[in-house]
Structure 1
Amino acid sequence: MPDHAILTADAHRDLRVNTERSAASGDAVMSAMVVPDELRQVQNEYPILFRRNLEHDRFTALAMFGFEDGENLFLEGTRWAARYLPLSIAIQPFLIGRPEGADTGVRQVHIDLASPRLGSEGLRIFEEDGSPSPYFHAVVEKLGMLDAGYQASIGFLAALRRHDLLEPLSLEVPLADGSTHRLVGFHVIDEERLRALDPAAVAELHQAGHLMPIFMALASLANIGALVARKNQRLRHG
């Protein structure tokens, strides 16, 4: 269970972060949230799908690492076998918080004290004098990028819905052991609908900066075959 706290040098000076990638460190996840500004890098490695949160009636863009809960086909021992790590994964166990009742422009760095990454070994968050370490400076930069990207994703996802550009995905994955896995509950960009948009709608998407991430999400679907191949290799070799 998460245990979030405001990060301070006084309270957390001796904490270290294990930056190895492994299931024990919390990396055994099927997917991770991604934001429009990073979709160019994401599409080089992962399929990008969209999932609707029925409770809040909104979509989230996701980089897919596997086909079932707890499956990350990019994990190989203590190595993440991809050239790009999504920001929402790279910043863990840190996150951005907002003081209760404060202006929405105010940001704080929080830390999940329940994270298995924390301990007495690994990279320092703070130096012995309490100043931020080089590692933490890099994390703060990523946190800023993720926060800005999250704000941009609100308009991006709203535009996809406004132009009816998301369609449900129905995908059956044939596996090496003879079984078939069905991926359900996700959406993809409707390419036919995108092609049918009138010039005014295309111009609106372009001016808002939404066309590039749309194209990146479409291009990323070519990675589904590679993800299936990873799944089958895992089934064959364990």
Structure 2
Amino acid sequence: MANHTILDPAHHRELRVATQHGAGWGDAIMSAVVVPDEFRRVQNDYPILFRLDLATDRFDALALFGFETGENLYLAGDRWDAGALPLSMEIRPFLIGRTPEGQGQVHLDADSARIDPAGVRVFDDAGAPTPYLEAAIEKLRALDSGHARAPAFFAALRRHELLEPLTLDVTLQSGAQHRLIGYHVIDEDRLRSLDAAVLGELHGEGHLMPIFMALASLTNMSGLIARKNRLVGG
């Protein structure tokens, strides 16, 4: 679990953050949370899948990076080989916090591998946010707004029974097999069966576009398998 602390210039005046990519900076992960607001931005690079947390009975959306724990097939040494990064990856090592009054607040994961004395400064000599931090704060705001709107999107998917379980068996050119289970995808047949009134309702609520973006993202699964084949084949 992240070691949260409130970010402030009094305690973090000298804080620097690594902005490069690589396993050593915490990028070796199989997936990252995405919110419906960013589906259009990330759907060209990653498959978007849905996962149900049985403990909370809540769905989250994930951008899939690999087929095994700790595997990120978009990492090429110190380069992230994709056109867009999910917001949850871009904001690290910062997190969304709350004041006692419920106002948004920037927190820092004090244990993050991205805290690096050779990295980019977060505050300038006067204690003001650097352009790097200002950009990170804007991304935090976007992610916070996306999280706030996400429950209505998932409620609409459940209300119209638009999610179906996914079991994907992947056989690589080497003969190795991987099975992807525990995820859901948009049920395209169910979506096609919805009448005009329901489609109009989904469109009016702003849910239809992210639904289509999630469907379109599944074309990236073949590309992800190709990345895995290249990795296994050397």
TM-score using structure 1 length: 0.96
CA distance in 1, matches of 2:78, 2:19: 9
SS in 2 for 1:60: strand
2:104 is matched with 107
Q: Note if 1:175 corresponds to 2:172.
A: yes
* Correspondence 1:10-29 to 2 at 5 A: 10-29=10-29
* Correspondence 1:45-124 to 2 at 5 A: 45-99=45-99, 102-104=100-102, 106-124=103-121
1:9 is matched with 9
* Correspondence 1:133-148 to 2 at 5 A: 133-148=130-145
Residue identity matched to 2:137:
V
SS in 2 for 1:56: coil
Task: Kindly tell me the number of residue pairs found equivalent between the two proteins.
Answer: 234
CA distance in 2, matches of 1:2, 1:188: 29
CA distance in 1, matches of 2:207, 2:164: 17
CA distance in 2, matches of 1:170, 1:35: 22
Deviation at 1:66, TM superposition (A): 0.3
Deviation at 1:179, TM superposition (A): 1.6
Deviation at 1:55, TM superposition (A): 0.4
* Correspondence 1:179-218 to 2 at 5 A: 179-218=176-215
After superposition, the C-alpha distances for 1:70-128 in whole angstroms (9 at most, x for unaligned) are 000001111100010000000000011012xx333x11100001001102111000001
CA distance in 2, matches of 1:204, 1:68: 38
SS in 1 for 2:138: helix
Residue identity matched to 1:107:
G
SS in 2 for 1:181: strand
Gaps in structure 1 of 5+ consecutive residues: none
Give the RMSD, CA atoms, in angstroms. Answer: 0.8
After superposition, the C-alpha distances for 1:162-187 in whole angstroms (9 at most, x for unaligned) are 11000000111111221211100000
Residue identity matched to 1:69:
T
Deviation at 1:28, TM superposition (A): 0.4
Deviation at 1:145, TM superposition (A): 0.5
After superposition, the C-alpha distances for 1:146-202 in whole angstroms (9 at most, x for unaligned) are 001111111111110111000000111111221211100000000000011122211
2:148 is matched with 151
CA distance in 1, matches of 2:200, 2:33: 27
Residue identity matched to 2:101:
D
CA distance in 1, matches of 2:110, 2:79: 23
CA distance in 2, matches of 1:98, 1:138: 19
Q: Note if 1:41 corresponds to 2:41.
A: yes
CA distance in 2, matches of 1:56, 1:3: 22
Instruction: Show structure 1 runs of 4+ deviating over 4 A.
Output: none
Residue identity matched to 1:190:
D
After superposition, the C-alpha distances for 1:175-230 in whole angstroms (9 at most, x for unaligned) are 12212111000000000000111222111101000000000000001000000000
CA distance in 2, matches of 1:24, 1:200: 50
CA distance in 1, matches of 2:2, 2:52: 23
SS in 2 for 1:135: helix
Identity among equivalent pairs (%): 58
Deviation at 1:37, TM superposition (A): 1.4
